[in-house]
Chain A
């Protein structure tokens, strides 16, 4: 995937399923947010370096590495970046125990997704959800 152009307010959507990336991108765009996409860990790393990210939406399993690798890829350049992890598993992965990220299960409702995005982007409302 080609590197996106740098934008002021960017949300990274990283998922190896193009349909998921498309619908999440459309939902975020409806909020007036710019979206960059990546389909693997390498793409995520490149996007992290290329853009000033304000939020990352990460799939729990992507080609090219683990979830930890994906997190490192974005938090190396953005240490305090809010991250929403989406997973097909019903429970939060064990390797997220000591990491400050939001977790949600796929499929997720649009309202739920956008409410989480709004909260993560707004530091005043940034309280963890169960």
Chain B
């Protein structure tokens, strides 16, 4: 588990995820509003309706394409992903042109619409999908790391327990499990004595049999370590996932500039003419400089920078970039008509905010995820080593305890069970007249010895335990 490869990220679940589709609704809608500005719709809401219809069609194509393609591929080939999103872009263009033509009678300009939507999709969709996939992977990795660190803490805490403590705890477990049941049995046997009926004898045998099995079970279960949780890890919060140090701020700024120009400049040219396109281009370049320069300087001097909007450098850079963009779009006079800039500025703002965040994450997340994956693997290796060491200690101590229990506790209990069982069976086939006092007395004596054995087991020193011989 580490960083996703480009193919895993671009062909995985996020390639056709609804979140990508939803996140692209605001910028595409603003672009449609800009694009249809010169279409003489009678009502103001027609561009909005056209944008929504286009987006719904895109959603249907992606959902259908994914449903069909994922029958054969868990990770979609990039050509399939490109075909799905290419089809969606063409459909968006065709629907936009059709609505404009059907409602107002203007030229649908299919070629222009198809070219611009395919270009915008090619520039925006892969980077969105890649970033969301890596971001989700980062959340999973951070969640897994948190769980691994908790497990490591548990393993370290458990490894502090010495062999002597393990042995003492095991003995106490046995004593606390066995003693109350044993006492009940002794009292019961003492009260009834040789007056035991066959059902009572059978019940006593069964109780003793369970007690014998319980002793073995306590020793066995005492050796089982509390294992690390195998449940699915919680994803880390989005805020933590976003807390990423931008690695290549200059490249990020360049990509933001190119993506913004490619998205807006063609329509600005088509709708408002060359000055508007030039104004968009200059505003995007200046904004890109502001977006890149702050983080670049901060990274250079070693200052802590995070993509998450909340870190001073990121916020200041973004505010400066948006301020410069607004100033150029509204007051530069490159396009002398102010309302052109007023219409384009919101789309540019959305584009700058989205791309600056997405591109900054995209350039850093793969390496960060690789690092987190390596740390996770290292942590798990350490946990496994500690668990193995502890399991070996417990196995060794369990074996010692089993030897200690074997004769004085389990062996005697087994003898009692056999004595009562044999005697009950003899009663059933008539070969014995009744429970003889000799058998009952012997069983009672054995139970007394077991009780004494339990007490000495709990109080013996560890050195005593080591010297105890094996018994049958």
B413 to chain A, nearest CB (A): 8
- Taken together as a complex, chains A and B put the C-alpha atoms of A15 and B418 apart, in Å, by 13
Q: Interface majority SS on A: helix, strand, loop or mixed?
A: mixed
Do A19 and B425 touch across chains, with their CB atoms under 8 A apart?
A: no
From A62, A106, A113, give the contact of B414 (CB < 8 A): A106
**What range describes how many residues of A lie at the interface?**
20 to 34
A21 to chain B, nearest CB (A): 9
Do A88 and B422 touch across chains, with their CB atoms under 8 A apart?
A: no
Do B415 and A19 touch across chains, with their CB atoms under 8 A apart?
A: yes
B394 on interface, CB distance cutoff 8 Å: no
- Taken together as a complex, chains A and B put the C-alpha atoms of A89 and B416 apart, in Å, by 16
Instruction: Scan B403-435; emit 1 where CB is below 8 A from any A CB, else 0.
Output: 000110011111111110111011000010000
Instruction: Scan B442-457; emit 1 where CB is below 8 A from any A CB, else 0.
Output: 1100100000000000
* Chain B interface residue count, Cβ-Cβ cutoff 8 angstroms: 29
- Taken together as a complex, chains A and B put the C-alpha atoms of A10 and B421 apart, in Å, by 24
**Contact partners of B216 in chain A: CB under 8 A:** 90
Instruction: Scan B78-91; emit 1 where CB is below 8 A from any A CB, else 0.
Output: 00000000000000
Do B472 and A88 touch across chains, with their CB atoms under 8 A apart?
A: yes
B98 to chain A, nearest CB (A): 78
- Taken together as a complex, chains A and B put the C-alpha atoms of A19 and B422 apart, in Å, by 11
**Contact partners of A97 in chain B: CB under 8 A:** none
From B417, B446, B471, give the contact of A61 (CB < 8 A): B471
A19 to chain B, nearest CB (A): 4
Do A16 and B471 touch across chains, with their CB atoms under 8 A apart?
A: yes
**Contact partners of B109 in chain A: CB under 8 A:** none
Do A107 and B209 touch across chains, with their CB atoms under 8 A apart?
A: yes
**Contact partners of B422 in chain A: CB under 8 A:** 23, 26-27, 110, 113
B470 on interface, CB distance cutoff 8 Å: yes
A9 on interface, CB distance cutoff 8 Å: no
- Taken together as a complex, chains A and B put the C-alpha atoms of A48 and B419 apart, in Å, by 26
**Contact partners of A16 in chain B: CB under 8 A:** 407, 471-472
A59 on interface, CB distance cutoff 8 Å: yes
A1-24 interface (Cβ within 8 A of B): 15-20, 22-24
- Taken together as a complex, chains A and B put the C-alpha atoms of A60 and B469 apart, in Å, by 13
Closest to B446 in A: A19
Instruction: Scan A41-74; emit 1 where CB is below 8 A from any B CB, else 0.
Output: 0000000000000000001111100000000000
User: Which residues on A are within 8 Å of B, measured CB to CB?
Assistant: 15-20, 22-24, 26-27, 30, 59-63, 86-90, 106-111, 113
User: Which residues on B are within 8 Å of A, measured CB to CB?
Assistant: 209, 212, 216, 406-407, 410-419, 421-423, 425-426, 431, 439, 442-443, 446, 469-472
Contacts A19-B418, A107-B415 aside, 17 further interface pairs with beta carbons under 8 A come to: A15-B472, A19-B419, A19-B443, A19-B446, A20-B415, A20-B419, A23-B422, A23-B423, A23-B439, A30-B426, A30-B431, A61-B471, A88-B410, A106-B415, A107-B414, A107-B418, A110-B421
Q: List 19 A-B contacts (CB under 8 A).
A: A16-B407, A19-B412, A19-B418, A19-B419, A22-B439, A22-B442, A23-B419, A23-B423, A27-B426, A61-B471, A88-B410, A88-B414, A106-B415, A107-B414, A107-B415, A107-B421, A109-B421, A110-B422, A113-B422
